[in-house]
Amino acid sequence: MNTVTLIVKPFDLLAELEPIYVLGDFALEEAARGFILSPAKKLESGSWKKQGLPLYGHRVKYQTFFKLPESRPPADFYLRLPDWRGALAEVVVNGEKAGFIISQYDCLSFGSRLKTGLNEISVIIYGTLKNTLGPHHLNPPPGQAWPGAFQRAPEGGQPAGSEYNNQDYGLVGEIVIGRLKK
């Protein structure tokens, strides 16, 4: 077991760990002060935060399969993501980029990308650097980061992990494949 300890009294903006990165396969658990490292969890659909990735902002790929019967034209189908959180969702069909979804109200027509038989469909949810870089303290408004947001520290020292301000990304609901109405 390895231990990295940083003690700074009083806690201020110079105590942030931005220049220190821990790389590897692990999860974070909320602690009374910040987070502790724990063994990695197998990612599933749902909140990245609740699966030990509260400071993760990159991307996660979800896969499903869809069987197209021979009796159906491939251009008759679309994909929807009614419950997801992120900056962008990319859709890949059988290894070919099919397009992007930017809100839970959008749908993406497969066009001629589906083939008869089994199709592999990937949805890649992208987060943002907000979770990775912050600001994490003093409840800044969503979508706003400016130098002043990094100039103050919470009173009383490092707050509990549950008090960090980050976005809750992930594919929460199902990947919905439907048939276009004609």
Q: What is the pTM of this model?
A: 0.84
Checking if the pLDDT of 157 tops 90, the result is: no
Domains of the chain, residue spans: 1-138+155-182
Largest CA distance in the chain: 70
Cα of 19 vs its chain's centroid, Å: 22
Name the nearest CA neighbour of 80 among 70, 95, 91, 94: 91
Residue pair 62/175 in contact (Cβ under 8 Å)? The answer is yes
65 or 20, which is more confident: 65
pLDDT tens for 98-144 read: 999 999 999 999 988 999 999 999 999 999 999 888 888 888 887 77
Q: Domain 1-138+155-182 is of which CATH architecture?
A: Sandwich (2.60)
Question: Does the pLDDT of residue 84 top 90, yes or no?
Answer: yes
Q: Any residues with CB less than 8 A from the CB of 110 and at least 6 apart, and which? A: 74, 75, 77, 78, 79, 93, 98
Per this entry, what is the length of the chain?
182
Model confidence at 15, in pLDDT bands (50, 70, 90)?
low
Instruction: State the CB neighbour count (10 A cutoff) for residue 49.
Output: 20
pLDDT value for 16? 63
Give the three-state DSSP class for 174. coil
HSE at residue 118, side-chain half, CA atoms within 13 A, is 4
Check if the beta carbon of residue 25 is closer than 8 Å to that of residue 149. Answer: no
Q: Tell me 140's DSSP state.
A: P
User: Which region, left, alpha or beta, applies to residue 86 given φ > 0 means left and ψ of -120 to 50 means alpha?
Assistant: left
Burial class for 91, CB neighbours closer than 10 Å (0-12, 13-18, 19+): buried
Residues 6+ apart with CB under 8 A from 146: none
